[in-house]
Amino acid sequence: MAKFLVQKSGPLSGEVQISGAKNAVLPLMAASLLAEEPCEIKDVPDLRDVKVMKEILESVGSEVKDIDDGHLNIYTKEITKAEGCFELVNKMRASFLIMGPLLARTGRGKVYLPGGCTIGARPIDLHLKGFEALGAKVINEDSYVECIAPEGGLVGNSIYLDFPSVGATENIMTAAVLASGTTSIFNAAEEPEIVDLANFLNKMGARIKGAGTDHIKIEGVEHLKSARHTVIPDRIETGTFMLAAAITRGNILIKNVVPDHVMPIAAKLRESGVDVFLEEEGMRVRADDKNRKFVATDIKTLPYPGFPTDIQSPFMSYLTTVDGGSTVIETVFENRFMHVAELNRMGANIKTDGNRAFIPGSKVLEGAQVIATDLRAGAALVLAGLVAEGTTEISEIYHIERGYEKFVEKFRRLGANIFKMEE
């Protein structure tokens, strides 16, 4: 198993180019199943999850070609198998996003229950509720779910989501675009990735309005055509490098950024004393003023446009280094404090109570052997390792490589002492 070795690095500085968003490209790839013509997706990050999704699409009949770096051509003239195989689907949560397109295009979809990071329960009941509202029969077994459209095809309906689930919103959108009539999704997720998916589908000929609000309206069409689309920048990667500048008291110019997508992260960093401002080439994050105090701030995770749960753990690493105590409240996933035990191995002394964590701050962290319990927890441990005395050895780094493109390379260009060790 490979490991990361991270050593105290001093202030990071320089420029970093943000990759296309993992959480946007996977639903885009799944949505390409809806068209009988080739679709081109640009700025595709080179990630393990993307490779798994490629294999899933190929297993159902797609031809997936790499035109050049970060540029995919996906051609699904015919879906030969309306079923996601267990070995591939079990590798990541986003694999369930093929259900909507399979159901819409073939009238049937069978997907084994997906895997992914163990950050808490992420039930698919809202997805299934949406499919049922569109007229599908749902067979929910212990290991798989099968959905079957009625003889005349899916029919538009009004659907209210009990929680603004990103995955459910995406799956219902892709199922509804080929349904007859109009579908309205109320309490829909508002994330930028939803808007990106809607823009891609509209380029393919779909009729979607309201993406980015809590009410999305979809008028069904008979078929979709080919489209070209560029993936939005990864706001979670952006936030990670914003925090890399903050925790190391560095100065980083971050390129390929949509400022509105990281507004909550920027606001909380400013509250704590970090300078975040726009330049012609991107976003500058500065924490290199030696006369400035960096102080505690509280965060509470919420669905977009609130503070993103995916940045909670990296932000907590930063909070261990500021003056004063901070409180973190996690409202999205119930099991997203697994990184706390690992940070405490490094001397953070964080206390948790249910969905709350108290970070005392002003800690001098010490290098230790730690485990990346999930994708974002792994990033949090790398950030902590950059300011810890001695060497931090991080195992289970496959989690990190699922979600960050050229992770070590980008950090090393900024001056980080980070190395990948193969065993």
Burial class (CB in 10 A: 0-12, 13-18, 19+), 143: exposed
Residue 419's alpha-carbon distances to 2, 267, 326, 384, 397, in angstroms, are 10, 32, 31, 15, 12
CA dist 139 and 123 (Å) reads: 15
CA dist 100 and 106 (Å) reads: 10
Residue whose C-alpha is closest to residue 193's, from 383, 24, 409: 24
Which amino acid would we find at residue 36? Answer: E
Q: Establish whether 117 is a catalytic residue.
A: yes
Bridge-based pairing of strands 326-329 and 356-359 is antiparallel
Which amino acid would we find at residue 234? Answer: D
What residues form DSSP beta bridges with 16? 254
Cis ω for the linkage preceding 259 (within 30 of 0):
no
Residues 6+ apart with CB under 8 A from 244: 12, 250, 252, 383, 386, 411, 414, 416
b/e per residue 230-265 (b: at least 16 CB within 10 A)? bbbbbbbbbbbbbbbbbbbbbbbbbebbeeebbebb
b/e per residue 325-346 (b: at least 16 CB within 10 A)? ebebebebbeebbbbbebbbbb
Which helix (H) or strand (E) segment holds residue 27: the answer is helix 22-31
**Phi–psi pair at 42, nearest 5 degrees:** -110, 160
Residue whose C-alpha is closest to residue 88's, from 54, 118, 123, 127: 54
Residue 223 is encoded by which pair of tokens?
A: 């078929």
User: Which residues are annotated as catalytic?
Assistant: 117
